[in-house]
Every structure is written in structure tokens, then in C-alpha cells.
Structure 1
Amino acid sequence: MSGIRKGRPEAAVAGQDPGARWRLGLREAQWGLAVLALVIGAGAGLGSIAFRWLIKVFTGLFTGHVDYAGAGHAANPHVAWLGPYFVLLAPVLGGLLYGPLVDRFAKEARGHGVPEVMLAVAQRGGRINPNVSVVKALASALTIGSGGSVGREGPIVQIGSALGSTLGRIVKVTEGRMKLLVACGAAGGIAATFNAPLAGVFFAMELILRDFAIEAFGAVVLSSVAASVIGRAAFGDVAFLNLPAFHVEHVAQYGLFALLGIAAGGVGISFTRILYWIEDACDWAWRGPEWLRPAVGGLLLGVLLLLLPQMYGVGYPVLENAAEGKYAAAFLLLLLAGKILATSLTIGIGGSGGVFAPSLFMGAMLGAAYGLGMQSLLPGTAGAVGAYALVGMGAVFAGASRAPITAVVILFELTGEYSIILPLMLAIVTATLTSRLLSRDTIYTLKLRRRGIDLEGPAAGAVLGTQQVGEVMEQAPPAIPVDAELLSVATDLSLSAHGVLPVADKNGSYVGMITARAVAEALADEPGSSGSGALAGDLVEQPVSLTPVEPLAVALHALIAHSGTGLPVLDPEGTSLVGWLTHQSALRALHSVRGTAALKPATA
């Protein structure tokens, strides 16, 4: 006998092998999650340093300037004989470099990146191609450096997320923890690149995870802190944008800021629609190989840059000039329209870069123009133009992304301006509400929906979630009368398998639910043994209700979020209880799916 046992549990192996015990801890223990979050944050911080360095190098090579957006029609000293016309060639040369790179090694690096990360978390278990980190960094830096009018947040989110996914694969973590590590990478990238640790946290929670669980929050914070420490060591502890101090001078300005929020919501939706319309037009017009598309399309981008050199790259110098009131209103509106066109064209021809910075740019142009207009109409009330520019930045981003918490926090951290926080919050909320009224999707989710992907729905090929609630619901338990005494209700609940029962009025109409927990708390809090006359109607709760025609994929989100063991299914009028959806009844749908699949004839 060799003494080697086959099939030993991993926990037993871990108890004898320190290395295996360490790997198991990384996969399952809380300290392991903390270690992985710190490592990913540090990696995202280093990645952001490398990424910003690449942008600086490529911008210098293509333009001879640190940031050409603020240089006017200056010539490139490397090819001075071309004068300002070198911008016609810069996007073409850049496209010849990053086009084949993306097409050959990581096609998902094309575009603005965040939707791909959202999809990976929602439906692919957090799995991201490990090649994305390197390819996205190079492609996006080449795009921005050669004149592409896109931002840095999309690339750094995808870079950090790919790092988190790759580390999760190496350690072999569970799917739930893999998704969390992807979010940690996104948070670290945002935190280090923009010196905005809080914004990194809320970006990851609100847009990537779309969840605010305590465990997730702690891990994302650790990653963001680690990345911020590294980022500040490299870039310094200063606000990302250098803007003058603003404050509200008159209470009537709050009404003006609210109106600005409505306009910003409309601009955010317009940007979204134009972006994908131009992308469709580029898809329709292009018939050649995909690797050549950025170079050929770069000719159009070059013409636009020759007319408006302020559109070159990210454009932060132009944004700061607008906030300081250095442009006329008509020119501000021209820059707004130009940025929408330039960003849409950059992404449409196959460029790689984010839409966050462009939305800030658009918001600053809109806000500054709006502020100048208000100064003309209400000279004694409007206040500083820069305040409207700053508020407009956050409002347009909120209108496009529909992430109000992230918008508030990131604008505060980017500028260091707390004095403007109240009008900023007001405008962002009105922009978000306006956006929601005008469109179902955001600038991120619309890209996926156009490909037939619904983040709220089942993944392609999923065996659960494609049915309707009416197909899988079970019979509802008997309803409790609204005037039933608590002791009677307690008896019924003790005999029920659900721990929660529906409540009906005297006419038999559904009025809500009552839980065993609520009844037990009421009986424990009262000095008497009968609840001192309390009735079932006093403890009625109103959980989310479902309808028979609702997709099961959507209903499952509500069922998982609900603390009870089931949810009521009501008729379309919402008055009569027609069924009951539980976790077990949902899982029973698997049997019917498998049975149907087994009955299908095999095809050759």
C-alpha cells in the first residue's frame, strides 16, 4: 500500500498541505478576498500609470505637444512642413496601428469597454479574455494619442476588470467571487486614473455589480484604496481638474440648475442616440476588412480635427477654459455638437476609448453656454458661468449613464468643489429622471440591447428564465382574512411551508402579505398573549407583486432580492391572487425544459 488515498476532499488535503490551505483560503475565506482585492487594486494602480504614460508618449509622437486640444492649429514640430494639416494623417496612422492589433488579439477591446464588463459580470460569470488588458491599453492609447475624441475611463475599467478576472481564474475562485474581483479591478482603475477613490467604489457598485452588498462594498473599497495610494504616489494628491471656486449666490439659482438638469438629460440621450446611429452608418458603409476600417475612417476624423482641433483627444484643457468663461456661447454650442460628432465617429470607425470624459466635456460646454444665457436674461441672479459648467458636467454624464450616485461623487472628487454639491445633486437627479422618461436604455446598456442582450434577462442558451411566470407558478396558499386575530394567524403560519401568507379583505381581494417574522415580533413585544387585539391587517406588508405574463428572468431578480420564500402573482388588474412563485417552483421549470429537449428529434 502506498498510503495515497484517492478522492480525498480538498479540505482534508488543505489540512495537511500548507500550500493547498493557502490556496483554499484565497478562494473561500474573507481574508483571502481582502488579499485578492488589495492585489488587484495595486495592479490596477500600476496599470493606470502605464496607461497614462502610453497616452502621453503617443500624443507626443503624433502631435509634438503634451495635449493638442489646447494648442489651436499649431503644427507638429516633428513634421513642421505639414503645418496644421498633419491632423489629417494622425488618425490614419493611428488606425493602421491599433486596427490590426484589436482585430487579431482582442476584438472586445473595440469601443468604449464598459458594456463588455457589465455583460461579463451579469451573464458570463465574470470571465474576461486576459488579452484585453494589454490590447485595450495599447489600442486606447493609440486612439487617443492619434486624435480619437474619447476618454480614459472605459479603457481603464476594462483593463482593471480583465486583471481581476485573470487573477480569479488563476486562484480558481467561485463565480460569485469572480464577479466581485472584476468589480474590484474596475474600481481600482477609476480610483487611480482620476484620483477619485470614492468614485471608483460607486462606479463599480452602481454600474458593474449593480448591487450594494456589504461584502462587495468592503472588497471594492480595499481595491480602490490600494489603487489610489499608488496613483497618488505617481500623480500627486491634487484634484484631477483645476477649476476656480464656485458657490451659489442666490436661492433662485436652484431653479436654474434644475432646468439645466432637464436640458442635460436631453443632451445625454441625444449623445447616446447619435453615437449608435453613426456606428450603424459606419457599419452600413464599410465593406472592407475590419482591421483597415479605423485607418480609412480616420480620414473623416482628420477633417473634423482640422476644422475643430479642440476635439483632439480627451480635451481637458478646453473643458477647463469653458468652465473659466473663456469662450462665447455660440462657440460653446459648436464645441458641444463637435464633441458629439467626434466621439461618435471615433467609436464608429472602430476606435477604442471611453464615453465618460466626452460626456463631461459636453456637459461643460452645455453648462457654460446655459450660464452665459442666464447671465444675459437674469444678470443679477444667474451667478458665475463656471458653476453651470461644473454642474452640467455631472448632469450630462448622469443623463447618459443613469448613474446618479457615481455622477455626484465623481464630480466632487474630480474638482474638489464641495460648495456646489447641492445644485449638483439637484441637476443630476433631474437629468436622470429626464433620461429615464426619454429612453429605456443608457449609453452602456443600449450597446448590449442592440446585440440582442438584455442584462435583466437570461443569458443566451440559459435553461432557466426564458419562460413566463404563469408557466411555472404554483397554487397560492389560502389567504388570511384581514380581520383575523394574531394567535389564529400564528397557527396558520406554523402549519404553512411558506412562512408568509397572503391577506385578503372581506370581498376576497388581495391586500398584501403577512410574514411569520412580523407576527412573532408583534406577539413578543406585547405584554398579553394575544397581541392585545392586533389583527392581521395591522401587519400587512406590500412586497413586489408579479403577473403571469412577466418573464421569469425578470421575476427571478425580485424573488432573489425578497427576504421571504415566495412572491404573489396577481391578475393584470392587481386585485386577485392567481398564483405563487417560489424558488422551488422556478427550479421545477428545469424539468419541463429538459423533458422538451429530450423529446426533440436529433438532427443530422
Structure 2
Amino acid sequence: MSVKHVLNWTTILVAIPVGCAASLVTLGFRHLIELINQLLFHSDRDITVAMTVWPWYCWPLIVGAGGVIAGFFLRYAVSLEQQQISKTDYLDVINARLDAVPTRTSLFRALSSIASIGSGASIGKEGPMVQLSALCGSLMGRFCFKSVAINNSEIVAMAAAAGLASVYHAPLASAIFVAEIAFGITALQRLIPLIIAAATAVMTMWSLGLRNALYPFAEVAFQLDPTTLLLTVAVGLLSGLLGWLLIKMIGHSRQLFSHVQSLPLRLGLGGLLVGTLALISTDILGNGYEVIVKIMAGHYLLPALLLLLALKMSATALSVGSNAVGGLFTPSLLVGALLGVIIATLARQAGLPVSNTLLFAVVGMGAVLAAVSQAPLMAMLMVLEMTLNSSLLFPVMIATVLAAMVAWQLQATSTYPVVTQHFNRADAKLDFDNSIIEQLIVPGAALQPHESVGRALAVSSLKKERYVYVINDLGHFLGVVSIHDISRKILDHEITLDSPVILVMDAQFPCVFRNQTVREGWEAFAQVTLERLPVLNNPQDRKYLGVLTKTSLIRKAKAFI
């Protein structure tokens, strides 16, 4: 029996093992990165500290060498993709409702990411971790649940949500992220299995001893007053601007690196430049998690915060622009944390009563993430789940929405191309629903009632139309004549070729009016089997203006269907 809806007991039961498996995949990836750190730096500390075991002049070489290795893996993955002509990214697989995530390309992209991350590239770990989780879900769907009547793309979506939840311990935000980005909707029927899979993944992590808030702000209360509200608005607006700037920097970086044709050389050059920036501060290396913790602990003064903000944005643009495989989540969170604390610190120095400047790190984290990802609901929930601080709900809501709106108004493209596709579809749908028929009118054949049926046949043959419209001297619509009716009546000797068309005219023919919406025109065609409908000026005058074709409506609807 086929499953007609995503929300059913079978889907929910499948979500549980998928969530468990995805969490183990992310855990394995994390342990592999830690193993590389042990081999390279003989340390299990964060890359920002571990790098210092080598002399400073080795830092650019280490990050650059990692980039070269990453480039070789990525070049092979790209060549496989070109041969297979298939999509690798799990978001594209879910959005296109494809059957599987390609195995070899995903693995080689993951190896490229490991080389970049392990050597200190300014890139997030969540991208490859979620991609590998999605691959795990795809394989489970193909081999473990092949007898279950569930589209494999749905299982991939569950695994992706579970993988992201394992990284950030934020099940609800992770489920909504996949719904917002991949599906373009947050419909309950699709959201519930994602929540089940994501929650199962977090419970698995808890059972393995990894149960804690990701960032240490659970016990601090955000006091909402006019000053903090004003700062929240400022953080939201500036985060939108900064998110847009980061996206622009990444785009410009990609353009510059595109001149380097060799992927190993491209990633190596990117790594070399990031390593050079690390000479100023090793805190720009890696995804930025440990640095966020230090920011929240108040370890930085204002000049250091400003310098780190500029360096981290530059390093991230270089890593992403050189095609290093990874995510932008944690780098965006770090940029947001820096911006939030900077704004609050400047406000305090200006004399405003700001009791806790460090709380604005969380507000900035959510806001910049919303601007960069164009998924404000996900960003809002993610920072709340990562801090377990409900007092931050209202300021984070304000800041994320403002930041996303600013980035959208500045026409910033999301870091996820599928988001742009969803926006384009939504715009096309809105245009379809609000355009009027007058914009789609084309000329149609029309005769006066005294003209002959022979003339009607000639016009029909010339225009290739089944019906010819009949209008009077003033252009008012009277009805139509059917070419089939004319042919039948001539064969039955009821009329001749010289008979006037009024003898075979049908006065009760459906029509539409120029000020009706295109949506109403679509509904009118749904009631008939015609290819064209006459367009009149209004129901009172009924003046003939031309025709509306079904083809023109289909072309307009194609943009969002």
C-alpha cells in the first residue's frame, strides 16, 4: 500500500534509527578530526591553541599544505560529479526529490573537508558532518528501508536534520532548518518526522555523555528595558549589514580564486593566506567554537574584538572562496558574537546603562546566522537551544528578523542556492496570484454576424483556431462559431458556405474579463477543455479585447510549479 502523506507511523518509526545513525556518523567525523590534531600537533586542544606547538613561520605552510591536499580530493569529487551529471549536496537532493545522495562524491568531499579543517582552515565542521549524515540516511533508505513506501529524499531529510542536531544539540532548529531550506515550507506533516529524527540524535549524544548547553549562558537573565531593546534593534540591523558584507566578500573571493584553475593549487593558496592571517591571531583558525566560549567569558578587550572581527571575516571569505569544503554556521556565529559584544561595549562606553555586554553575543550570533542563511526561524531557535536560556527569546526574535530583512532588502544571495530558488518560486507565485489577465491578452480571430461561414472556415484555417469569435460593429462580444459545427451542418446541408455565421453562433460561451487575476483565469480554464478564452472589458459592456491562452498561463505558472 502506498503512503500518500509524509506524516504516518511508518515514517516516524524510520526517523528513530535514522536519527541514531546520523548522530554516530557526526561523532565519528569529530573523532577523526581529533585524531588528525593528535598526529599533527600532539594535542587534543582546539586548533587555535594547538597550532602554537609549531613555530610561527610554519603556520602558513601547515594551513596551505592542508589546502593542497583538500584540493586534490575536491578535484576528484568534482570530476566524478561531472561524469555522473548528478547533484551531490544533500539540500539539492532533498529539494529535487532524488533517490540517493551520491556515495563516492560525498566521501571525497568529506576527505577534502577533513584536510581543510584538520589543518586549520577558517571553515565550519557542520557542512561535511551533515552531508555524511545525509549520505548515511540515503544508504539506509536504499538498503534497510527499501521495502518501506517512503520516498528516499524524505529519509535523507531526516538524516540531515539529525546530523545538524548532533553538531549543535539543537533538534528543533535543525528540523526547521531542513524544512525551511530544503522544502521551502514548515508544514507540520514534513516537520514532525524531522523533529523525531533530530531529537533522537540529541538523545543519543546525551546517552554517550555529551549532555550540556553548547554555550555557557543558561543561568544569566536578559533584562529587557528601553536601552537593551535599542541595542537589540541596532545589533539586528548591523548584523544584517554584516551578513550581507560577508556574503559579498565570499562572492568576491570566489571570483578571484576562479582564476586559479587547479583545485589543489586554489585550496593551497587559500590555506596559505589564512595561515598568514593566523600570524596576527590564531583565533581565526578553525570554526570558532572555542573563541565564542572565550568571548562569552569576557577574555577580549574592545580593540581585540574589532581586530578579530575583521580577521575572521577575511579568513572565512578566503577559505570559502577557495572552495574549501565546510559550513558557515559556526563562523557566522563567531562573527555575530563579536559584533554583539562590540556594539554593547561601545554603548556602555558611551554612557548607556548596559549591565551585561556579553549577553549581546548571543543576540548577534542569531542575527548574523539569520542574515547569512536566510533562515531566521532556524537561527532564532538554534541559539536558544544552544544556550538553554529562555530569557533571550524576545531579543533574539527581534534581531534575527531584522537581520534577515536587511540582508533580503540588500538582495544578498543566501549561502544555500536552494533558498534563492525558493524565493524565486515564492515571487513567481505571488506574481501569478496578483497579475491581471489584461497583461496576457493576445489577438484572436473575430468576425461580424453577417459574414459567411466560408469566411469563418478560412480564418480558422489561417489562425489554426477551433473557434471564431463573433462581435458587432461596436466591438461587443456576441458569441462564437465552432468550426466543427459549421462542417457538420454543411455536410448535413443545413447551411451553405455563404450562410451568415449568426446561424451557427453559440451565445453562451465562457469568457473572462481583463481585470480578473491570472489565478481566476487559471480557475476558468479548469472548468472547460478549451485552449483559448475570449477576454472582455467588463460584464456590462462585454467589449471584445482579445484572447487568453492556456499556454500563456502554463508558462507563467512554470516558474513556481
- Normalised by the size of structure 2, how large is the TM-score? 0.72
Work out the CA distance in 1 between the residues paired with 2:372 and 2:12.
Answer: 33
Q: 1:66 aligns to what SS in structure 2?
A: coil
Query: Aligned in 2, Cα 1:241/1:588: closer, same or farther, shift over 3 Å?
Result: closer
* CA distances 1:240-279 after superposition (whole Å, capped 9, x unpaired): 1224624126333112211110000000010011011101
Give the deviation of 1:357 after TM superposition.
Answer: 0.4
Deviation at 1:546, TM superposition (A): 5.8
Indicate the structure (1 or 2) with the bigger Cα radius of gyration.
2
Letter in 1 for 2:334: F
Encode CA deviations 1:154-175: one digit per residue, 9 max, x unaligned: 2222222222333334455899
Counterparts of 1:543-558 in structure 2 under 5 Å?
none
Counterpart Cα distance in 2 of 1:334 and 1:88: 19
SS of the residue 1:302 aligns to: helix
DSSP 3-state at the match of 2:74? helix
Residue 405 (structure 2) pairs with residue 427 (structure 1): no
Write the letter of the residue equivalent to 2:371: G
Aligned counterpart, 1:519: none
- Distance across 1 between alignment mates of 2:375 and 2:149: 25
Map residues 115-514 of structure 1 onto 2, 5 A cutoff: 116-123=89-96, 125=98, 127-170=100-143, 171=145, 177-243=151-217, 245-248=220-223, 250-284=225-259, 286-287=260-261, 289-379=262-352, 381-439=353-411, 441-445=413-417, 456=424, 510=516
Q: Partners of 1:254 and 1:68 in 2: how far apart?
A: 35
Q: Aligned pair in 2 of structure 1 residues 37, 142: CA closer, same or farther (>3 Å)?
A: same
CA–CA distance in 2 between the matches of 1:38 and 1:56?
28
**Cα gap change, 1:417 to 1:578, in 2 (>3 Å):** farther
Match of 2:493 in 1: none
- CA gap of 1:256–1:472, structure 2 versus 1, over 3 A, is same
One-letter amino acid of the counterpart of residue 53, structure 1? H
- Output the CA distance in 2 between the equivalents of 1:224 and 1:232: 13
Q: How far apart are the structure 2 equivalents of 1:164 and 1:296?
A: 35
The change in CA–CA distance for 1:309 and 1:413 in structure 2 (over 3 A counts) is same
**Aligned-pair distance for 1:471?**
7.6
Instruction: Output one character per residue of 1:515-561: Cα deviation in whole Å (capped at 9) or x when no partner.
Output: xxxxxxxxxxxxxxxxxxxxxxxxxxxxxx6699xxxxxx99xx9xx
Residues in 2 aligned to 1:313 and 1:301: alpha-carbon distance in whole angstroms? 10
Whether contact under 8 Å (2:367, 2:399) holds in the other structure is yes
- Say if 2:23 is the partner of 1:45: yes
How far off its partner does 1:84 sit? 2.9
Aligned-pair CA distance for 1:323:
2.3
Tell me which residue corresponds to 1:529. Answer: none
CA shift, 1:334, in A, is 1.3
* Alpha-carbon distance between aligned partners in 2 of 1:373 and 1:105, rounded to the nearest angstrom: 47
3-state SS of 1:372 partner: helix
Find the aligned partners of 2:556 and 2:344 in 1 and give their Cα distance.
59
Aligned sequence identity (%): 25
Are the counterparts in 1 of residues 88 and 102 from structure 2 also a CA contact under 8 Å? no
Q: Secondary structure at the match of 2:162?
A: helix
Superposed, 1:81-96 pairs within 5 Å as 83-96=55-68
What SS does structure 2 have at the residue aligned with 1:131?
helix
Distance 2:42 2:402 in 1: 42
Deviation at 1:303, TM superposition (A): 1.0
Q: CA 1:105–1:256 in 2, change beyond 3 Å: closer, same or farther?
A: closer
C-alpha distance in structure 2 between counterparts of 1:26 and 1:372, whole Å: 55
**Alpha-carbon distance in 2 for matches of 1:30, 1:164:** 18
Q: Which residue identity is paired with 2:152?
A: M
Tell me the distance in 2 between the aligned counterparts of 1:69 and 1:371: 28
Gap change, CA 1:68 and 1:37, over 3 Å in 2: closer
| CA drift at 1:454 | 7.9
Specify the code of the residue in structure 2 equivalent to 1:120. V
Amino acid of the structure 2 residue aligned with 1:372: T
Deviations 1:224-249 (A, max 9, x none): 12212222223422111224624126
Judge conservation of contact 1:323–1:385 (CA < 8 Å) in 2.
no
Spell out, residue by residue over 1:476-512, the C-alpha distance to the aligned partner (whole angstroms, 9 max, x if none).
xxxxxxxxxxxxxxxxxxxx9x9xx99x9xxx955x8
Aligned equivalents of 1:355 and 1:589: distance in 2?
34
Flag the 1:588–1:344 CA change in 2: closer, same or farther, 3 A: closer
Structure-2 change in CA distance of 1:292 and 1:175 (3 Å):
farther
Query: Judging changes above 3 Å, is the alpha-carbon distance between structure 1 residues 38 and 333 closer, same or farther for their aligned structure 2 residues?
Result: same
Deviation at 1:33, TM superposition (A): 2.3
Residues 44 and 160, structure 1, Cα contact 8 Å, conserved in 2: yes
1:25 and 1:32 in contact (8 A); partners too: no
Instruction: Answer whether contact 1:45 1:231 (CA < 8 A) is retained.
Output: yes
Deviation of 1:180 after TM superposition, in Å, equals 1.9
Contact 2:41 2:51 in 1 (8 A): no
- Over 3 Å counting, the alpha-carbon distance change for 1:441 and 1:175 in structure 2 is farther
Between the aligned partners of 2:88 and 2:37, the Cα distance in structure 1 is 26
Are the structure 2 counterparts of residues 223 and 454 from structure 1 closer, same or farther at C-alpha, using a change threshold of 3 Å? closer
Residue in structure 2 matched with residue 21 of structure 1 by the alignment: none
**Could you tell me which residue of structure 2 aligns to residue 32 of structure 1?**
10
> What CA distance in whole angstroms lies between the structure 2 residues aligned with 1:385 and 1:197?
28
Measured in 2, the distance between the counterparts of 1:471 and 1:173 equals: 48
Query: What does the per-residue CA deviation read over 1:102-136, in whole Å, with 9 as the maximum and x for residues that have no partner?
Result: 32246699xxxx99333223336354212245334
Whether the 8 Å CA contact 2:341–2:357 is kept in 1: the answer is yes
TM-score, scaled to structure 1: 0.67
Question: d(CA) in 2 for partners of 1:267 and 1:356?
Answer: 15
- 1:340 CA drift (Å): 1.2
Give, in whole Å, the separation in 1 of the partners of 2:351 and 2:520.
51
Q: Give the direction of change, closer, same or farther, for the CA distance of 1:454–1:241 in structure 2 (3 Å limit).
A: closer
1:579-590 alignment to 2 at 5 Å? 586=554
CA RMSD of aligned residues (A): 4.3
Q: Distance in 1 between matches of 2:273 and 2:212?
A: 37
Gaps of 5+ in 2: 82-86, 427-435, 445-507, 526-532, 537-541
**AA aligned opposite 2:21:** G
Partner of 1:541: none
Contact 1:75 1:86 in 2 (8 A): no
Amino acid paired to 2:399 = A
Cα distance in 2 for partners of 1:387, 1:344 equals: 27
Q: Secondary structure at the match of 2:215?
A: coil
Per-residue deviation at 1:67?
3.7
- 8 Å Cα contact 2:184-2:422 kept in structure 1: no
Against the structure 1 CA distance between its residues 246 and 281, is the aligned structure 2 distance closer, same or farther, given a 3 Å change threshold?
farther
CA distances 1:337-359 after superposition (whole Å, capped 9, x unpaired): 11111111112223111001000
Summarize the Cα distance change of 1:394–1:589 in structure 2 as closer, same or farther, 3 Å threshold: closer
